[in-house]
Amino acid sequence: MTRPIRKILTVVGARPQFIKSAPVSLAIRQAGLQEVMVHTGQHYDANMSEVFFEQLKLMRPQYPLEIGSGSHAYQTGEGLKQLEGIIRQEAPDAVLVYGDTNATIAGALAAVKIHVPVAHIEAGLRSFNRRMPEEVNRVVTDHVSSWLFAPTDLAVANLRNEGITQGVFKVGDVMLDAAELFLSQAESMGSGLFDRHQLQPRDYILLTLHRAETTDTPEQVHRVLRALDRQGMPVLFPTHPRVRPLVQSLAGLRNIRFVEPLSYLEMLQAEKHAQAIVTDSGGVQKEAAFFSIPCITLREQTEWVETVESGWNRLVGLCEDKLVEALGSLQTPSQSIVHLYGDRQASRAIVDVLASQPPLWFE
């Protein structure tokens, strides 16, 4: 017999994980459970980390590991090494990990090897592209997790196809919970963001990119940016630090506003009022769908397949011709697909399961 879950150790490290943790930590607190927070330090610039803790009033990490940037082996290995000691010391009933970053796989492996069950939020997503480091992180994490919290039916089906049927719970998407939790606050911030960058609602494109597969071909990224600039519409481009060196050499662009990464509340505003979103981000594709904003994804595959199947998202790879064609024929299907991501109560459902369902393998 396992003991009931009382203490959860959460591992975060990168921007989207801070955001996802906001509604989940709230649900953990509301259920009267204890949470210990570890921040691996994968993201560390103030506008990639601190701003989220401050603005979203996140729980401060008891263990800031300050691992920083480096190779996959460095980030994963250092995370594993440090997390093992912390997990032994804290002796949590479960380790909670989010998504698909190096912090995710480090947390999952460190825990399962010393027999602490792992809860994976955003389980079952697949791009089927093993060249993406995130795909490897997802697959491995899913296969060692005891509770697999799948956001969509498709994620459940992906797990089934890999023989994972036990411990799988379709709960909806915690990013929708986060958007629900913070949207009214974002809307009440007024027009500062738009005034600062001389933007009119519905009359700009929001652009984000940061994936290694994108930045690996700088000339192609430059071609895409030049093509976007030629459209004549303002483009708001909060630049992830990975992209900074790549855009420094670009001159002569008139319409692209290169700005520092936005806070989450500003980002929600920027997404909600854009005419279209162009991105290679996983989370941003989905947020476009939440707000019914047409999205164009600069990738060949996506793990958020339903955004494409519904017509809200188009995959154009890093091809400037396809991008221009997609911008010229933006689709706004009549049906919203927000319902595919749950009922905005995913976080509560996750905590309910943790509190009531014994972990696979550990009963």
**Site residues, ligand UDP (CB under 6 A):** 15-16, 19, 208, 210, 238, 261-262, 264, 267, 281-284, 287
Size of site (CB under 6 A) for ligand UD1: 17
* Cβ within 8 Å of residue 267, ≥6 positions away: 238
* Residues 226-255, interacting with ligand UD1 (CB under 6 A): 241-242
Q: Does 43 bind ligand UD1 (CB under 6 A)?
A: yes
Residue 202 to residue 268: CA distance in whole angstroms: 14
Nearer to ligand UD1, 44 or 53 (CB): 44
* Residues 2-41, interacting with ligand UD1 (CB under 6 A): 14-16
Residue 92, binding choice from ligand UDP, ligand UD1, none, Cβ under 5 to 8 Å by partner class: none
Count of C-beta atoms within a 10 Å radius of residue 235: 22
Residue with tokens 């921040």: 39
Residue 54, binding choice from ligand UD1, ligand UDP, none, Cβ under 5 to 8 Å by partner class: none
Q: State the nearest-atom distance from the C-beta of 191 to ligand UD1, in Å.
A: 27
- Going by C-alpha positions, the residue among 65, 68, 11 that lies closest to residue 35 is 11
* Residues 54-73, interacting with ligand UD1 (CB under 6 A): 69
Q: Does 134 bind ligand UD1 (CB under 6 A)?
A: yes
Which x/- pattern over 192-221 shows residues binding ligand UD1 (rule: CB under 6 A)? ------------------x-----------
Residue 26 to residue 29: CA distance in whole angstroms: 5
Sole window of 95-103, 182-190, 226-234, 288-296 interacting with ligand UD1 (rule: CB under 6 A): 95-103
- Joined together, the tokens standing for residue 229 give 């600039």
Nearer to ligand UD1, 194 or 258 (CB): 258
Residue 262, binding choice from ligand UD1, ligand UDP, none, Cβ under 5 to 8 Å by partner class: ligand UDP
- Going by C-alpha positions, the residue among 53, 99, 107 that lies closest to residue 76 is 107
CA 21 to each of CA 119, 177, 256, 328: distance values in angstroms, whole numbers, following the listed order: 13, 10, 32, 37
Residue 44, binding choice from ligand UDP, ligand UD1, none, Cβ under 5 to 8 Å by partner class: ligand UD1
Length of the chain: 363
Residue 133, binding choice from ligand UD1, ligand UDP, none, Cβ under 5 to 8 Å by partner class: ligand UD1
Question: Judged by CB under 6 A, which of 107, 133, 172, 234 binds ligand UD1?
Answer: 133
Nearer to ligand UDP, 93 or 142 (CB): 142
Q: State the nearest-atom distance from the C-beta of 228 to ligand UDP, in Å.
A: 17
Count of C-beta atoms within a 10 Å radius of residue 259: 15
Residue 45, binding choice from ligand UD1, ligand UDP, none, Cβ under 5 to 8 Å by partner class: ligand UD1
Residue 261, binding choice from ligand UD1, ligand UDP, none, Cβ under 5 to 8 Å by partner class: ligand UDP
Nearer to ligand UDP, 146 or 152 (CB): 152
Nearer to ligand UDP, 69 or 89 (CB): 69
Cβ(144)–Cβ(97) below 8 Å: no
| Residues with a known catalytic role | 210
Q: Binding residues for ligand UD1, per CB under 6 A?
A: 14-16, 42-45, 48, 69, 100-102, 133-134, 210, 241-242
